[in-house]
Amino acid sequence: MSSTFLHGGHVFANGIRQHYLRYGSNTGSNTGSSTGEHSARPSIVLIPGITSPAITWGFVGEVLGTRFDTFILDVRGRGLSSASDTLDYSLDAQADDVVALTEALGLCAFAFVGHSMGARIAARAATRIEAGLKSVVLVDPPVSGPGRRPYPSQLPWYVDSMALARKGMDAEAMRQFCPTWTHEQRQLRAEWLHTCDERAVLASFKGFHEDDFFADAAQLKVPSLLITAERGDVVRPEDVSELQRATPSMLHARVPDAGHMIPWDNETGFYAALGDFLGAPVSLQTPA
């Protein structure tokens, strides 16, 4: 498959610099007047998790880009987007960023695909958009929150790995944190993890236990798909049942042989779980 990477870029939106990576086709985009099969489908705004700069989702962007105009966001405090000791790292600010990003890019029809923290951002942002949003995919969202069980990952896992990355680490050093990943995946994380602002990560982790994801998910007015991992303890069957009771139209797919970082563990299964929900199926064999 040839590369679908188009370019990286920045916009000034919601008062900060937001960096994104764009994948798709040069022959079509719903941000302009060009034509092509991509322009007939909603664009995808992919929102990564708590310590995942946009570049680490590039392999997914390559595949989604075969069928969709795809934008992968560096959430504030990660990658090349703004970070500072005075920046608001709350869920509300992150959600407002995504809304402002879609406006700054001129997207007229789009879908959110959010993983982990990104799924919580997508659900909150969806409550603030009046037009343009066509669907939402929530990929293994933390269901922790007020009165609920804590998020299963431990904070030192993030803090310790970021501290090593700031000093300088390689793929082998990253193995202790990501033992099942490939060398290439660990090398990329080792290269980019230092760009994650510890203040942003601490605030987001705190928000996992203070923000009510279920309340946001219950307000979804567009088609939604919940994708969960067979392994791990982030989303349990009873959580799925509760979410679907609140939003009966919410679809659900469980990816076998995958932990929380679903595309890293079972990339084929991740695309199979998406099916044609976004408007067209994708797979590792989809030609660019």
Instruction: Dump pLDDT digits (tens) for 267-278.
Output: 999 999 999 999
Q: How much is the average pLDDT of 124-139?
A: 97
Q: What CATH architecture applies to the domain 5-146+209-274?
A: 3-Layer(aba) Sandwich (3.40)
Query: Over 90: is that where the pLDDT of 34 sits?
Result: no
Mind listing the pLDDT tens digit for each residue in 146-184?
999 999 999 999 999 999 999 999 999 999 999 999 999
Contact 45, 131 (CB under 8 A): no
List of E strands, the chain: 5-13, 16-23, 43-47, 70-73, 110-115, 133-139, 224-229, 251-255
Query: Over 80: is that where the pLDDT of 35 sits?
Result: no
Name the percent of the chain lying above pLDDT 90: 92
Taking the C-alpha atoms of residue 90 and residue 75, their distance in angstroms, rounded to an integer, is: 11
Average pLDDT, the chain: 95
Domain boundaries of the chain, sorted by first residue: 5-146+209-274
Structure confidence at residue 287 (pLDDT) = 78
Q: How much is the average pLDDT of 183-191?
A: 97
Taking the C-alpha atoms of residue 190 and residue 181, their distance in angstroms, rounded to an integer, is: 12
Structure confidence at residue 33 (pLDDT) = 36
Structure confidence at residue 39 (pLDDT) = 83
Taking the C-alpha atoms of residue 70 and residue 25, their distance in angstroms, rounded to an integer, is: 9
Residue 44 pairs in a beta bridge with 70, 111
Q: How much is the average pLDDT of 54-73?
A: 98
- Sort 158 into a burial class: Cβ within 10 Å, 0-12 / 13-18 / 19+: buried
Taking the C-alpha atoms of residue 9 and residue 114, their distance in angstroms, rounded to an integer, is: 20
